[in-house]
Chains A and B, each alone.
Chain A
Amino acid sequence: DAKTTQPPSMDCAEGRAANLPCNHSTISGNEYVYWYRQIHSQGPQYIIHGLKNNETNEMASLIITEDRKSSTLILPHATLRDTAVYYCIVRVANSNDYKLSFGAGTTVTVRA
């Protein structure tokens, strides 16, 4: 699986967009980008995933560069409840492999 690189931490102002970068320069053509977050003392929460097209759901948007070597998770209007550790994970969608490997992630602090 491709390795991902994320900044260890970032701050964001409440009400502003939070843009979380992820570098996956060794990604292969059949690997998806997944984002999860973990709010303190809770289980991780699936946010979004994509292959090469930009994706949007009720939680966030995922922008993947044309060469697929990096992506950005966008929280359009950050709230204090978005304070969490955000994990970017790259996985081949192999039906025989269920392993989700979490890296260190980015600790996002939303400030009032």
Chain B
Amino acid sequence: DTEVTQTPKHLVMGMTNKKSLKCEQHMGHRAMYWYKQKAKKPPELMFVYSYEKLSINESVPSRFSPECPNSSLLNLHLHALQPEDSALYLCASSQEGGIFAYEQYFGPGTRLTVT
């Protein structure tokens, strides 16, 4: 199984809502990632978890809160978002470290619209 799944596929939320994005993989990967992709732009890294611990936070605003409950799951909690946060949110996973960290498997993404 080389699949990364993400739910929901689409999400529309108001600026006062709280919602969560979910990501799951069963490849035994111990590194998991959140990326943000605006229209017609390349993906940009937001967070990296390694062995369920936050390894990298690319200075993401605190209205985005990641969580890694176990080695297969990754969540992104959203609160008080702004319309400019509307984007495709991508989850990825990889084996840990070295050259394997860059063979990342991506999910299909959650398309988020903030109204």
Contacts and interface: CB of A to CB of B under 8 A. Distances in A.
A32 B100 CA distance: 11
Contacts of B33: 98
B56 A99 contact: yes
Interface stretch (B13-21, B63-71, B73-81, B102-110): B102-110
Interface residues of A, number: 27
A107 B54 CA distance: 33
Contacts of A103: 42
Interface residues of B, number: 27
Given A98-B31, A99-B48, A99-B56, A93 B98 contact: yes
B102 A93 contact: yes
B90 A100 contact: no
A34 B42 contact: no
Nearest to A85: B42
Given A99-B48, A101-B45, A43 B108 contact: yes
Contact of B105 (A32, A38, A46, A104): A46
Interface in B77-105: 90, 92, 94, 96-99, 101-105
A82 B103 CA distance: 19
A34 B102 contact: yes
A98 B103 contact: no
A98 B55 contact: yes
A68 interface: no
Contact of A89 (B94, B102, B105, B108): B102
25 contacts: A32-B99, A34-B102, A38-B43, A42-B109, A44-B104, A46-B103, A49-B103, A91-B102, A93-B99, A93-B102, A95-B96, A95-B97, A95-B98, A97-B101, A98-B55, A98-B101, A99-B48, A99-B56, A100-B101, A100-B102, A100-B104, A102-B44, A103-B42, A104-B42, A105-B42
Interface of A: 32, 34, 38, 41-46, 49, 85, 87, 89, 91, 93-105
Given A42-B108, A100-B45, 10 more contacts: A43-B92, A43-B107, A43-B108, A85-B42, A94-B98, A98-B31, A98-B101, A99-B48, A103-B42, A105-B42
